[in-house]
Amino acid sequence: MTGFLDGKLALVTGASRGIGAALAEALAAEGAHVILTARTAGDLEAVEGRIHAAAGTATIAPLDLVEHDSVARLAQAVAGRWQALDLLVLNAAMLGTLTPVAQIDGKEFSKLLTLNVLAQQALLAAFDPLLRQSTAGRLIAMTSSVSESPRAYWGAYAASKAALDALVLSYADEVRNIAPIRAAIVNPGPTATVMRARAFPGEDPATLKPPSAVADAVVDLLKRDFETGFRLDLG
């Protein structure tokens, strides 16, 4: 399979379903070899199977991003097999309970911040050397509208996404003039995913765009010469 990503290596977190799976399949369709990460091996194998059936290539790496040293072990394994990483997609996240700020459960909030913020920084730190080895490294981080416009009951998730945005934009500025890396933040907007169904249980998923539409938009973005620090908001 050939495309504009032919011969490139991509890593997608949260790739077992929804937007992550759709992104992985779209990237593979453009010729990238995609490393798929998520907690559930069975779901990853299903995505890998669809990629192979479409003549693409992928490698699964089941792991929990919040486990001790899991990110470091993944980076070590990737560096042991490949010389560079061309695309890192930070997609894995948890919604948490939608609740008033005064009633946020501390234990759950800590878990949410660990995955949505601390694990994302760990991924950036671990894969920065491999991104720098690419001739055109790209970082895509999936965010949410609430990172810029918080609303009632979404405080915990909004805070985590605002922190992720700050990390990614800071990283984009840090590498702007010293490495051929460009970073972008993508807000997928209303999309028919499991997370969306949990947040809006009464919503008809048929009225929402499919994850493949988000994947297509990200692929289109990657084909463009976008400025690092760019934010893409999809309706």
- Positions annotated as catalytic residues are 157
Helix (H, G, I), strand (E, B) or coil at 218: helix
C-alpha distance from residue 100 to each of 67, 93, 104 (Å): 28, 20, 6
Report how far residue 177's alpha carbon sits from residue 205's, in angstroms, rounded to the nearest whole number. Answer: 43
Q: Which of 124, 111, 108 is nearest to 165 (CA)?
A: 124
- The answer to whether the CB of 38 falls within 8 A of the CB of 23 is no
Alpha-carbon torsion, ordered 196, 197, 202, 204, to 10 deg: 80
Handedness of CA 123, 218, 186, 183 (dihedral sign): positive
